[in-house]
Chains A and B, each alone.
Chain A
C-alpha cells in the first residue's frame, strides 16, 4: 500500500525534516559569513572580525539587523503577492533537500533510519520540478514591486533560469543513460563500488556546473541583480527580513545545488580509497554513517567554496553573452555529449 503510514515513521521523518532544514539554514547562515571571509582573503583583507572571536557571530548580527529594519511595502503594489514572492523563494530553496541522500542507514532504538527524507522513484526530476518553481518567487516579487527596475531584474532572472534549465536537463539525460536510474540514492550506491560519475561524464559535469551557476544567479551570471544597471535587481523594493529571505534563499540554493552535484557526479557520501565493508566491521554501522555524512558535507562545502572562489575571480558577463553561451554553446555541447554517450553505451553492449 502506498499510504499505509504508521506513527513511528511520521515521527522519524518529521525529525529528519527538521534536522535537515535547520542544518541547511545554519549552513546557509555561515555561508554568508564564509563568503565575506573568502572575499577578504582573496582581496588581501581581514574581513569581518568584530562580532565574537574571529567574527564568528557576524551572521547572527546580520540576521538581527535585518529583523529590526523597517518594513516597507510599496504603495501601489499587490500586498499579498509582494509577501508571497520571498516566501516562495525560501520555500522552494528548502524543498529541494528532500531527495538528497545525506548518508547510509543508522540503527537507532531498534529502527533502521535512512538518512534521506524521501527516496522516490523520480528522484532527480523532483529537484528539477522544484527548481522550475523557484522562478515564480523572483517573478512574482519583482512584478508586485511595481518598479521598472525590479521587473527588468525579474524578467532577466526568469529567462536566464529557463534558458539554462534546458542545457542542464540535456546534460542530465546523458548521466541518466549511464546510471540507468533517476533515484539519487541508487546513483550514489552505483558510484560506491565503481568510478565516480564525473570520470564517466566529464563534459556533462562541466555543463551541469556552469548551468548550476546560472540557476543560482551567481557571478559570473548574476545579471538579475547587476547593481550598476538595475540598482538592486528584482529585490530593489524589498527591505527588512523579506530582503533577507531573498538573499538567504540564494545561499541555501548554493548549498543544496552543491549537494546535488556531489550526489550526481562525486559519489555522494562515498569515502574514496576506503573499502566500506572493512570499515563497518571495525567501527560499526552507525559510526560509518556519521563518517559518510561528514564526507558528504565536506564535498558539498568544497563546492560552496568553489562558488565563492569563482565569484571573486571572474567578472560578470554581458546579457547577450549570457544568452549566447546558453543557447549557442551549452545546448549544442550538451546534445553532442548525449549523442556520444549514447553511441558509446550502444558500442559497449
Chain B
C-alpha cells in the first residue's frame, strides 16, 4: 500500500467512526466534538485530492465557526446526559430504524448503478482545487450561480438580523 492509500483508509475510518459516535454518544458536547473530528477527516480527504483551499475553508467555516455556535447553544442550555430525554415511544424507534435502513438501501443501489463509480479520482495530480484555478473558474464559467448564491447568503444574513432584532 502506498502512503496515499494508507492515509485514505485511515481518514475514512476516522470519518465514519466519529460520525457514528456523533449519533451514539450520550452527551451532546461529546457529539459536537466528534462532529469536529469528522470535519477534520473530511478536510484530510480534500487535501489528498489536492484541494487545499476547500480543505481549509471546510475547517474555518464548519469546524471553526458553525460548530462553535453549536457548542454555544449546548453550553448555554446546559444540555448533558442527565437532562437528555429518554425516547419512550418504541414504535418511533422501529419506524426510524426502518426508514434509515431503507434510505441506506436506496443510496447504495443508486450509487452502484451510477456512472460515478466508473470515474477514477485524481489523487494528488488535480490542480483545480488550488485557490487560483478555483477563483478563475468561479468568476468565469460559474459566475451566475456564484452571484445567485451570494445573494442568497445576503438575504439569509438580513433575515437573521431582522428576526433577532427586538421589537422597538
Contacts and interface: CB of A to CB of B under 8 A. Distances in A.
Interface string B124-156: 100000110000000000000000000000000
B124 A1 contact: yes
A133 B124 contact: no
B53 A136 contact: no
Given A1-B124, A3-B3, A3-B124, A162 B56 contact: no
A261 interface: no
Interface in B14-63: 27, 29, 33, 36, 50, 52-53, 55-57, 59-60, 63
Main secondary structure of the interface of A (DSSP, over half): helix
Nearest to A126: B56
B104 interface: no
Given A2-B50, A121-B131, A125-B60, 12 more contacts: A1-B124, A121-B52, A125-B57, A128-B56, A129-B56, A132-B63, A132-B65, A133-B63, A140-B33, A159-B72, A162-B65, A162-B68
Contact of B68 (A5, A78, A121, A158): A158
Interface residues of B, number: 28
Interface of A: 1-3, 5, 78, 81, 120-122, 125-126, 128-129, 132-133, 135-136, 139-140, 143, 151, 154-155, 158-159, 162, 182
B131 A81 contact: no
A122 B64 contact: no
A139 B70 CA distance: 12
B156 to A, nearest CB: 16
Contacts of B4: 2-3
B109 interface: no
B110 interface: no
Interface in B65-85: 65, 68, 71-72, 75-76
